[in-house]
Structure 1
């Protein structure tokens, strides 16, 4: 019978990835496999063997964590979902919207209503990536805000970032469309301003320390760089190109801690976060979220038309707060209610409330597009028992 190590090993052997760590947990049974190495063989110094505690850039797996931070403030009574964000983000007090998605950035109309906390959480505030990246209002997200593949040392500090955001029109009216990524970064700024703490400080105090997520943060301490993997993207013909080494972009805390994609973590830390969600917001006697906040995070928020308009929801997904929610059994691994997401650095983490499962796959190869690669799909199929 194939085990998780047998499933992952061929993808290392054929050069698809230098290494991978996978975790599949149900109840008291947890299976973990670490295969390959933290970097490409033949480099100097020689890469360390991949291990259970290897540290990865988790990219968009940061989004559910940031959404959970916002919900802790809701639980505290310091925010409500209907609050207008302008109270804490005055840069967004009078947003304007391009007249049509194809309009120039100076052809704008006033927003029909204020942006709310819920709009940020469910990615319907009007900022973010649509299916067409060529639209004029999308270009400034890349040029001025450095949205896209994470590069933490190249982004301005939060106040300057928000000032730049205020100069960019919304692509769609608030509540009208699901748009990717940008609202999770805005959530991170919101958490900092409401709490009076930096986002790294707040996450450490309210989420990471209570859950024992000791290796999760926005940078890897110097003494732990030996456990940090290298990060690659596909190169022609068929090779891998180094994007970031262990002593690179994540070796110091960035000026802008990205709630959309800035975290590093391990399979066990992400397992702890998943267990908390499965436990209705608590685990090991420690409560992080209320059951109602977990329910809201893991409940579909989109209309069918909003769901169908996104190229990211190809296999039965929709969106809750900070992560996808499966709503249709399109593939063998789709279970309605499955919650989680994938990261552009080659990562994936989900919970399946109906079976009590947590699944985590961490690799260091950048995804080439919205369709999950074969390794990820085979992992999900395995985790679902198929």
Structure 2
């Protein structure tokens, strides 16, 4: 039952919303923030809310400071949680997939408003549900799904774990999860990214493309677009054009056996009891995925994910290696939502929904009262992970933890209170 539940939780964003940082705090201010954050993480472990937790905090273009507490499991002999510990980041894969697509945009191999049917012909003729809450009856779509729509969840696609009505059930019947599944659920899943995308195209859309924001398998479909446009398998493209150039050497589709000692245990909260759902040694990530999904497929470390955020914060380059042009990063971190579309379906526990959406992540268009500055971009993972950059306050934050459901504790809000001060 628990493993099946994880399958249906994979794609949820996690426990998040932002707050206001100091710009260029003094050394004393930084130390106070770090002490407060350390006390918070220690309290989470001491109270049994998490076995282990790691945060990476960066200011300006400086290397991050790491704060951690606890161990990779409840076993007293387990390794301590640290900067290079491995965590299931689930939907924090999405901004990485989006960045891979932006590489192709800057190379002219993709255009934001280009129909995805140019790369996946099965999407040439789509249909839209007449009454999504009650029926699969549909009518022809009048607009094509574009690259912009996939990047911003305005494609009309959905998720089998979100919403009600017949569409999520149809996704489930067809194995359209967009993530790892247990052995039984995997029997229904397509065996290739091509087959996945083609099967998605057979299902009617929730809404006319470009008219509504609905959290979805869009970034999984985008993975297929990337491999067609590049001529390279999606996971290999991400590895060779992003992960390896950025030195993200602990970010994996499949965790090497040699690194299993760094892998965290995934927990699940049953009421007030936290129980192990998947150990590090028994993780399915030791085996290659059936399909490398761009929406929820990666394992990473706090050190690695900070490198990704730092690349964005520095305009597309890191340690002298450029993967994106500054103008491409500026575009990726701008509001890419189609005109008239607003994010009203808040799938994270953010107290204030972000008004905009960039390439694979939420975007705050205005300062949040007692919160982050305008331009803050980021996303979250189903098992509690957090990542965002706040360009206005020159701050970037990554938090790694692994438990379901992410909303069990107000981790995001607690972290914000610790590291952001007036």
Paired position in structure 2 for 1:8: 41
Structure 1 residue corresponding to 2:138, chosen from 100, 108, 111: 108
Distance 1:289-1:73 versus aligned 2 partners, 3 A rule? same
Partner SS for 1:21:
strand
Gaps of 5+ in 1: none
**2:98 matched to 1:63?**
no
Q: 1:315 corresponds to which residue? A: 352
Equivalent of residue 327 in structure 1, options 365, 371, 375: 365
Match of 1:76 in 2: 107
Which 10-residue stretch deviates more, 375-384 or 359-368? 375-384
Give the counterpart of 2:396 among 358, 363, 382.
Answer: 358
SS class of match (2:343): helix
Instruction: Describe the SS at the equivalent of 2:259.
Output: helix
Match of 1:178 in 2: 213
Is residue 275 of structure 2 the alignment partner of residue 219 of structure 1?
no
Give the structure 1 partner of residue 53 of structure 2.
Answer: 20
Q: 1:110 to 1:69 in 2, by over 3 A?
A: same
Do the aligned partners of 2:317 and 2:324 also contact (CA within 8 Å) in 1?
yes
Pick the aligned partner of 2:171 from 126, 129, 141.
141
Q: 1:210 to 1:128 in 2, by over 3 A?
A: same
Equivalent in the alignment of 1:265 = 300
Q: Give, in whole Å, the separation in 1 of the partners of 2:340 and 2:54.
A: 35
**Offset at residue 382 of structure 1 (A):** 2.3
Deviation at 1:203, TM superposition (A): 0.8
CA distance change for structure 1 residues 158 and 148 in 2, over 3 Å: closer, same or farther?
closer
1:375 and 2:408 matched: no
Residues 258 and 206 of structure 1: is their aligned pair in 2 closer, same or farther, counting only changes over 3 Å?
same
User: Quick one: distance in 2 between partners of 1:255 and 1:132?
Assistant: 23
CA RMSD between the two structures: 2.3
Contact 1:122 1:319 in 2 (8 A): yes
For 2:316, the equivalent position in structure 1 comes to 281
Looking at structure 1, the residues matched to 117 and 317 of structure 2 have their Cα atoms a distance apart, in angstroms, of 31
Cα distance change on mapping 1:4 and 1:120 into 2, 3 Å: same
Contact 2:305/2:398 (8 A) holds in 1: yes
CA distance in 2, matches of 1:339, 1:194: 26
Distance 1:85 1:282 in 2: 28
Alpha-carbon distance in structure 1 between the residues aligned to 2:40 and 2:225: 41
Contact 2:55 2:66 in 1 (8 A): yes
Q: Is the 8 A contact 2:344 2:353 kept in 1?
A: no
**Higher RCO structure (Cα 8 Å, ≥6 apart):** 2
For residue 338 of structure 1, what is the aligned residue in structure 2? 376
Aligned match of 2:80: 49
Q: Deviations over 1:46-98 (max 9, x none)?
A: 42221221011111110100000001011111111121111111121111111
> In terms of mean alpha carbon deviation, does 59-68 or 78-87 score higher?
78-87
Paired with 2:363 and 2:246, the residues of 1 have a C-alpha distance of 23
Superimposed CA distance per residue, residues 251-275 of structure 1 (whole angstroms, 9 cap, x where no aligned partner): 1221211100111111111111111
Query: Matched residues in 2 for 1:182 and 1:244: separation?
Result: 27
TM-score normalized by the length of structure 2: 0.84
Residue range with higher mean Cα deviation, 308-317 or 134-143: 308-317
1:75-94 to 2 correspondences below 5 Å? 75-94=106-125
Q: Once the 2 structures are TM-superposed, how far is the Cα of residue 221 of structure 1 from its aligned partner?
A: 0.5
How many angstroms apart in 1 are the aligned matches of 2:232 and 2:202?
A: 26
Contact kept? 1:94, 1:111, Cα under 8 Å: yes
**Structure 1 pair 294–114 and aligned structure 2 pair: CA distance change class (3 A):** same
Please give the per-residue CA displacement for 1:319-343, whole angstroms capped at 9, x wherever unaligned.
2110011234445332211111111
Is the Cα–Cα contact under 8 Å of residues 179 and 295 in structure 2 kept in the other structure?
A: no
